[in-house]
Amino acid sequence: MIWTRHHVLSLAEFTPEEYDTVLQTASSFREVLSRRTKKVPTLQGQVVANLFFEPSTRTRSSFELAAKRLSADTLNFAPGSSSLTKGETILDTAKTYLAMGTDMMVIRHKEAGVPQAIADEMDRLGVKVGVLNAGDGQHEHPSQGLLDLFTICSLLDPNNPRLELLQNKKIAIVGDILHSRVARSNIWSLTASGADVHLAAPPTLLPKWFTNFVADDALPRKLSLHWSLDPAIADADFVMTLRLQKERMATHLLPSLREYHQQFGITRDRLKLSQPDVKVLHPGPVNRGVEISSDLMDDPEFSLISQQVTSGVAVRMALLYLMGGGKAG
């Protein structure tokens, strides 16, 4: 297929063809990453600006490395020492980086919609700058959704990861779903594949109305809600846990970390309910002993956490490559 999506802001409208293109392209870049010289000249002379209004070492490093391995130059925007403290608007900051000659912008912001607003402004100005949402508030984190998808599909068929491999697989998403942009992006991608997606969380973190946001969709998405862990992970092929923000305690949405772990923490024992070859995912950073028991996290028989990080670089290379006008894989 010909890739026509200039910005990657949300997985809500991703088509099955687009998912497959990302998976195939990431697969070819993963091959590059296994070489000693892990670099290709694809984006030589182009500039990728990482505008991380909300700080993040992990995701920024992953994007920075993806850009460097495509031979792009990178600029990092550091909010602490920035003009934002001088009263400049976010759009003006983005336009400044545009005027400097930025070819692609990777945006993270604590408010939902900021990457969309910047993309709209770029389109309004008629410039060919691609905008990639690296996490906006509680809205979406599409590259995380895609790297989780790539991690799972690559496990099922390393040589040919593709969406249809998830057909009828049972996948549980467990944790602070209400506040999670990772959950929202994964719900779009996993249900698009035909997987049977089960959400599990305490009622304060998973209200009944939550899934309304996928209601109007054209695809036949299979999505169930649970307020306890066992029905979600029973016979599951994959269990995806979410990071628990400790701030949730302060706002009385949870009684204690200990109690949360007892009810929703993933342990070796709990996983006996799942498929024998069940795998566990976590977007990181992990609170060991809270979302997942420490020994399980380190057990390569169960944990895909390290593969997720590796997939992240390959998937972000794929996205920058496709947005930058590369031919689809």
Q: How many CB atoms lie within 10 A of CB 8?
A: 25
* Distant-in-sequence contacts of 111-117, Cβ < 8 A, 24+ apart: 111/136, 111/137, 112/136, 112/137, 112/138, 112/139, 113/137, 113/139, 114/53, 114/90, 115/7, 115/9, 116/9, 116/10, 117/90, 117/91
Contact flag: residue 160 with its own copies (CB under 8 A): no
How far the first Cα of the chain sits from its last, in Å, is 8
Query: Encoding tokens for residue 216?
Result: 């109007």
Tokens of 28: 């070819």
For residue 280, the minimal CB distance to its own copies (Å) is 15
- How near is the Cβ of 198 to its own copies at its closest, in Å? 27
Nearer to its own copies, 99 or 215 (CB): 99
Q: Which of 15, 100, 167, 168 binds its own copies (CB under 8 A)?
A: 100
* β-sheet with 104-109: strand ranges across: 73-77, 47-52, 104-109, 130-136
Residue 109 makes contact with its own copies by CB under 8 A: no
- Run of H or E residues at 223: strand 222-226
Instruction: Please give the structure tokens belonging to residue 117.
Output: 């607003």
Does 46 bind its own copies (CB under 8 A)? Our answer is: yes
Nearer to its own copies, 54 or 111 (CB): 54
Residue 251 in contact with its own copies, rule: CB under 8 A: no
Q: Is 89 in the site for its own copies (CB under 8 A)?
A: yes
Using CB under 8 A, which of the segments 14-22, 78-86, 178-186, 191-199 binds its own copies?
Answer: 78-86
The single-letter code of the amino acid at 137 is G
- 228 in contact with its own copies (CB under 8 A): no
Q: Which has the closest alpha carbon to 50: 126, 108, 128, 114?
A: 108
Count the residues of the shown chain that bind its own copies, applying the rule CB under 8 A: 56
Q: Is residue 44 near its own copies by the rule CB under 8 A? A: yes
Q: Which stretch binds its own copies (CB under 8 A): 74-82, 189-197, 223-231, 265-273?
A: 74-82
Residue with smaller CB distance to its own copies, 24 or 71: 71
* CA nearest neighbour of 97 among 125, 73, 77: 77
Q: Is residue 272 within the footprint of its own copies (CB under 8 A)?
A: no
Taking CB under 8 A as the binding criterion, the range among 31-39, 149-157, 189-197, 204-212 that sits at the site for its own copies is 31-39
Q: Is 126 in the site for its own copies (CB under 8 A)?
A: no
Nearer to its own copies, 60 or 270 (CB): 60
If one asks whether residue 68 binds its own copies (CB under 8 A), the answer comes out as: yes
Q: Which of 192, 190, 210 is nearest to 200 (CA)?
A: 210
95 binds its own copies (CB under 8 A): yes
Q: Is the separation of the CB atoms in 254 and 190 below 8 Å?
A: no
How is residue 42 annotated by DSSP? T
Q: Is 306 in the site for its own copies (CB under 8 A)?
A: yes
User: Site residues (CB under 8 A) for its own copies?
Assistant: 33, 35-39, 44-47, 49, 55-58, 61-62, 64-65, 68-69, 73, 75, 77-78, 80-83, 86-89, 92-93, 95-101, 243, 246, 284-288, 306-310, 312-313
